[in-house]
Amino acid sequence: MSIKQPRIYLCSQSPRRRELLKQIGVNFEMLMLRTDPRRNICVDETPLENELPVDYVQRVCRTKAEAGWNSLLYRNLPQFPVLAADTTVTINNQIIGKPNNNAHAAEILRSLSGRQHQVLTAVAIALNERIELRLSTTLVTFSKLSDERIHHYLLTHEAHDKAGAYGIQGHAGAFVERIEGSYTGVMGLPLFETVELLRLFDYPAL
């Protein structure tokens, strides 16, 4: 399907994903699942029993894209591609989710301190019956973090609602000793993979 008026829907509330799409000049509108009038439109992000992180992040991302497309149809919106993404942080194949509170965030940051962890970000685009997905894998090494540094970081409130309890684009960038992979993938939307997908759907991306 050729897009006459280039536009996509972003099925995410993340301000970082919005910023990254704007950075590469993508014309998008927000598609918020949580405001959908149907209660069953929400995506359950609970990991399945014995599910590997690489399988988990792709499953959740694909489900978000499907839910976004179904929401678009339900609302009778113009049919443009729906982009969804999901990010998870892992150590030793264990999923590290978003912190529940500051104590939990401190616990997560201590587990990342002085170690290498993996950031997996899946991005998918849905249009009609077609869904295409790409996966970005990045290795991030943190320096050794003292309790004092963790405490000061938590005072910035950046840890809230972020996988792994940190945002690399903020103050926590100072924690990163080494990164191997996609910086924008760690932010939550790998631009290389995103542009690949947009091109598959005839969006005139760079």
Out of 29-33, 44-48, 76-80, the most confident range is 76-80
- Is there a catalytic annotation at residue 36? no
- Amino acid 149: pLDDT: 97
User: The CATH number of the domain where 139 resides is what?
Assistant: 3.90.950.10
Q: Does a structural domain hold residue 166?
A: yes
In a domain, 192, yes or no: yes
User: pTM (2 decimals)?
Assistant: 0.91
Which pLDDT band, with edges at 50, 70 and 90, does 34 fall under?
Answer: low
107 burial (CB, 10 Å; 0-12 / 13-18 / 19+) is middle
Mean pLDDT of 31-41: 60
In a domain, 51, yes or no: yes
DSSP state of 129: T
Report the pLDDT value the prediction gives residue 43, as an integer from 0 to 100: 80
- Would you say residue 70 lies in a domain? yes
* 100-115: average pLDDT: 97
Q: Which of 36, 86, 161, 202 is catalytic?
A: 86
Considering the domain boundaries, does residue 205 fall inside one? Answer: no
Q: Determine the pLDDT at residue 23.
A: 95
Q: Are 121 and 85 in contact (CB under 8 A)?
A: yes
Q: Could you tell me the pLDDT band of residue 2, with boundaries at 50, 70 and 90?
A: very low
pLDDT at position 4: 56
Inside any domain, residue 206: no
Q: How many domains does the chain have?
A: 1
pLDDT at 37 over 90: no
Does 1 map to a domain?
Answer: no
What's the whole-number average pLDDT of the chain?
92
Range of the domain at 156: 8-200
Q: Is the pLDDT of residue 3 over 70?
A: no
Domain membership of residue 82 (yes or no) is: yes
Give mean pLDDT, residues 160-166: 93
